[in-house]
Amino acid sequence: MPPIAYLECSRCQARISSQSPQTVCSQCTDQPAGSLYVRYDLSHLEGTSPKDVIGEVLARGGSNWTGMWRYRAVLPDVRPVTLGEGWTPMLHSKRHPAVFVKEEGANPTGTFKARGLALAVTMARHYGLQRLAIPSAGNAAGALAAYAAAAGIEAHIFMPRDVPIANYLEAVAYGAKVTLVNGLISDCARIVAERKQEEHWFDVSTLKEPFRIEGKKTMGYELVEQLGWEYPDAVFYPTGGGVGLIGMWKAFEELEELGWVKPGKRPRMIAVQSSGCAPVVRAFEAGANACQMWQNASTFAAGLRVPKPYGDSMMLDILRTSKGIALSVSDEEILASILDWARNEGILLSPEGASVTAAYDKLLASRDLTPSERVVLFNTGAGLKYADVIAEAMHLQRPVLELQSAD
Ligand SMILES: [Zn+2]
């Protein structure tokens, strides 16, 4: 297990100590301040075989070191708060021989958010933090509530009032202090920013806390390991806040530094958004380095309702460096893809996950991609967490039963 060497600013490259809890870079002269990357001295692992390193973790580890903690050799050296997150299935499509679905719905709380928040709460407990606050489009709230409960830490949650009912239910059930806001995640973020000092909250907002990226980077390690320590040709990622995209790219850098994969053949990173809220797509197409706030964001893919992601510049840089692309699909296309994959593959995708399956179909049709290119499509959450919003999109109502009398 590596001790953390320092935290590094993604904008000004300042090095900051991890001895006390940090949010964003305190040295940046330009605003917004850069997000911080966790850096380790990994030199003792160079030239090792990943199978040996992970095998040793699993052999020695006991129940705490399963799931994403199989990568503890490249994670902070602290005792984890774990609910069994990570090491999710890589499902092979029945219709597309070169397509794999990374099924993040298998995580605790049913989404990929478990990875980042497991690590953020692990570090919060390590630092002795007592009160965490988060603005969320829904799924991060549920995950924070669960891990905070497991760690005995207070969670203060702010999310839009029209989040899927599962997100509200789980946050309340886990004992979090929940405020429903008449607005979007950007409005929730403003409330947390205004009140955090007075309330003594530590802000674990997307990319304003360094360890959520570290948790999400395990998706990059996992997909490479599950494909036999080789990169796919492309990774499709539904992009709201974009931490997973940034985390996976960091994983690829580390994997190459360690010699665990051959450098030079990284996948194209494909960011997918809903046409009802597509700030990254608009910035990508305009050649811009940052997003403009998207007005009147609206989509039933709740996790994609992020009108201006904090990590916009980092994502745009990764998309261009990887020769990737950003594209949007409509809510109608998302719903059609949910039903297509449910009926033909037996997988009930989340709306966010179905945005990438719809985008895959589009890129095949436009010949931006060939059917033989090996791709990983991220289903970031279980479709069942969206029971109410998918039912509404399908105009599905429970039939009224006609009761028959006994005689
Ligand atoms: Zn900085």
pLDDT tens for 50-92 read: 999 999 999 988 777 899 999 999 999 999 999 999 999 999 9
pLDDT given for residue 17 in this prediction? 96
What pLDDT was estimated at residue 264? 81
Question: Residue range 343-364: average pLDDT?
Answer: 98
pLDDT at 31: 87
Q: Which amino acid is at 322?
A: S
Q: How far is the CA of 209 from the centre of ligand 1 (A)?
A: 14
Looking at residue 328, what is its pLDDT?
Answer: 98
Average predicted confidence (pLDDT) for the chain: 95
- How remote is the CA of residue 22 from the centroid of ligand 1, in Å? 12
Q: Measured in angstroms, how far is the CA atom of residue 71 from the centroid of ligand 1?
A: 28
Q: Give me ligand 1 centre to Cα 297, in Å.
A: 30
Instruction: Give residue 162 CA to ligand 1 midpoint distance, Å.
Output: 35
Distance 113 CA to ligand 1 centre (A): 26
The answer, yes or no, to whether residue 224 has pLDDT greater than 60, is yes
pLDDT value at residue 402: 75
CA of 290 relative to ligand 1 center, distance in Å:
16
Query: Burial code of 324-346, b = ≥16 C-beta within 10 A, e = fewer?
Result: bbbbbbebebbbbbbebbeeebe
C-alpha 247 to ligand 1 mean position (Å): 18
- Measured over the CA atoms of residue 167, residue 172, residue 175 and residue 176, the dihedral's sign is positive
Q: Is the dihedral of CA 355, 290, 121, 137 positive or negative?
A: negative
pLDDT of 86: 98
Q: How far apart are CA 163 and CA 41, in angstroms?
A: 41
Lowest mean pLDDT among 62-71, 159-168, 295-304: 62-71
Q: Which of 4-18, 51-65, 79-93, 241-255 has the lowest mean pLDDT?
A: 51-65
The residue count of the chain comes to 407
Among residues 83, 135, 89, 136, the alpha carbon closest in space to that of 114 is found at: 83
Query: Measured in angstroms, how far is the CA atom of residue 76 from the centroid of ligand 1?
Result: 22
> Helices then strands (H, E): number in the chain?
12, 13
User: Taking residues 254-274, what's their average pLDDT?
Assistant: 95
Residue 1, pLDDT score: 56
Q: Residue 180, Cβ neighbours under 10 Å: how many? A: 15
From the CA of 308, how far away is ligand 1's center (Å)?
20
Peptide bond preceding 32 in cis form (omega within 30 of 0): yes
- CA of 310 from ligand 1 middle (Å) equals 14
> Ligand 1 centre and the CA of 338: distance in Å?
41
The pLDDT assigned to 399 comes to: 83
Distance in Å, CA 277 to ligand 1 centroid: 28
Q: What CA–CA distance (Å, rounded) separates 368 from 398? A: 41
Ligand 1 centre to CA of 11 (Å) is 5
CA of 245 relative to ligand 1 center, distance in Å: 20
Tell me the whole-structure pTM to 2 decimals. 0.95
Q: Please compute the mean of the pLDDT values over residues 361-388 and round it to a whole number.
A: 97
Please give the pLDDT value at position 406.
Answer: 66
Distances (CA, A) of 285 to 279, 316, 360: 10, 10, 18
pLDDT higher than 70, residue 407: no
- Predicted local distance difference test score (pLDDT) of residue 341: 98
Strands, E assignment, 86-229? 90-92, 99-103, 131-135, 154-160, 177-181, 202-203
